[in-house]
Structure 1
């Protein structure tokens, strides 16, 4: 019999059949996806009821933890599978964070999830055989259509591979730090080894230069060349050590408010003679009202002197160098060093701060290594500043440094007690200076320096033990102490002298080739009156001795210094 249904009815029936077929297909796919997820071996899926008792334990959880699902479902809580001490620690941390008592166990694991916050944490899972492994677990609260809590879903992954990488990375970092420490120690030792012979070269050259009778013109030219080469070699040693220390992270800085007026005044005194020799005019600024910046005073001075020396060195004959200070936005002060040199191309400007790149000056008559600007840049950055340059060929260059402005430091209470004046060179009583030094050349050098003062005599000791005995017997006014001595070090000897009432009052000056800043800091913190680095600068040494003589006094009631037979 022919179908009597209306065409519209047939169409509706066909549409419903298509819809039902699609729905069945979607459900089948969803079921397949659900089965695939539950059977995945790559991650664990654990579902609990609202009380925290396990209801679903997928294949991945079985593989990961070693339990069959029937061994845990309706029997244990996920917290029973974690390290109990870590679960307790998590409860304590939550209690502290929320100022609310949290019981150890699953409540601690599910606390945030129960409040609608998905939580991810790292804990240690314990397998059925007792072995452990680190895991990352995500926990989410499950709710029905009425927003009623019906359970929790925990998805976990094995974190062993990541932890292994972290461990290897930490070991690599530790090894690198150990290597850096060894590198720093090597640099300190190498500095000492390089400076010790250089000390004799420069010291004796200075004596010849200023000795009596005066050197002949030919000798004077030779001595000038020795001194020029020696001081240049010292500069190279310092630059290389600075760069290596910065790269190893071992350079210590003391950033505090620094008077830029004082620093620029000292810099001007150091560079003006060189500028005058080359016919270079110098112009320094009137400082702005706010003249303090946050910096390490010694390193800021080093930065500015390097920029000033470069401006003089690479200037035109009879050129000019001007220093400008302008307040920038955001509380910074820009110090600019402008020269009238040949200028640089844009490509050269982009290469300015590359190590050992002298921008084509290798064949020029000016000495250099290409390290100075690199060290300068690193120092500025370590002090929290910025450095840059602008240049125009045929006009000149401007190198600038920006440092954070600072308020002037508060004034310390001034001492009211009068200090004794330095002893006069003529007609004064003889004072003994004890020098503890194992290097005969250094001892002879200082002996000749001291011999120029009629009121001083030098007593030498080749090691610390002999130096301590001499100090106790002769009670010198000042002690010069090398650091690297055979047997007892100079620092240990200084501590022994400080602990002895007979010698505790005597100023002790470190005289050492250990010129790395951390060595100097360590020496000053140990209790030295002053720290003089080798190669010795004669004027600096005598100023230090005069300062020590000015404050040196024997304890009340003790006899005056004994004479030397």
Structure 2
């Protein structure tokens, strides 16, 4: 595909300026945006006419300094369209080695619409949360007085009526708790405390808890494979999610059938927990509504109890733990729900150690290389692991968060620590001093993968303790060379 053809297909405003300041090429969307406000071969300074004047004066110095320092600049610019309307655009300017510059402007209308939708959703969640709190007070009073009545010498009929009040009140109390929990999670205020969690322990505990329901429906449970894989998760919340998924499989699965719970490692140092049933399955239209709050997909007509909040809450909990909840289903065949979470140093957990070895230590082949990679990006973790294994025979331990780094390094005793510049919970510049202060981690050289080629940031990283820094996107040849250099005896 030629450059002209490519520019015709782009929706972004793209302008390519030559070393003499003249525009060489532009996308069709840029030409339409500029209209007749510039000539057929405009100069760079003519483009400033479409920038809102107040914005233009504020940009001149920062853009010039950034291009001089790093050959690139990115920021928000208010542009004027042919109708005179002013709107914010995300603009990137990058110097060309030949002396020209490439300018790309992207309309933020989609981002603004998404932001408005998110604000509206938050408003709804806050309203529901306030409503839930208001309902709790009279409900607690109702339950309290009903329990006092239960202690009175009542006739059997009256005693049965009081029990109905208490049962209904407790059901409503659980419903309000779920609504408030979902509202907090959607507002980013959920109570999530992540750490290393043995997934098999939780699965076995949940299966044991729902055993009576399984026996009543004659459903067989299968857990496979039985491996003590370790997830980076909130133990209480993961229990809550799996209790809902396994409970649903037993409630809606085929009577006399089976439910399978699979626990398997997947690429990118992640763990996949599958809950599979052989029930009636779901249609595509039902799947599209599955995670909506209070959506029961017709189950309210089957006599099976439920509020329609379980899956919506489970999805919010998994997302808050940094994971993904997915579903695949076929009518008449069954459904598979899957929770994918980050793994934590699974090969060095005590449950997986050789009893003849010291805790947290595993013997390598003579001359073997061990690397701890701290990254929140599963794809990058997989790329680094495969690259170092194939090129250097390295054994890479992937760690998804900075909070787990020191313990992983103490256990693994690696030759090198590789960490991303931006982690889910901390920056490399803040994590490096913590590593340096540890008696074990402080002796291991650290290599940082930095997303931006910013000299000031790279200087900060070196002062914080980085032995070497590589820019992103990652060049695997450079990574191999840097790893070899830093781990050379």
Specify the structure having the higher radius of gyration (Cα). 1
TM-score interval, normalised by the smaller of the two chains: 0.3 to 0.5
Q: TM-score, normalised by structure 1?
A: 0.40
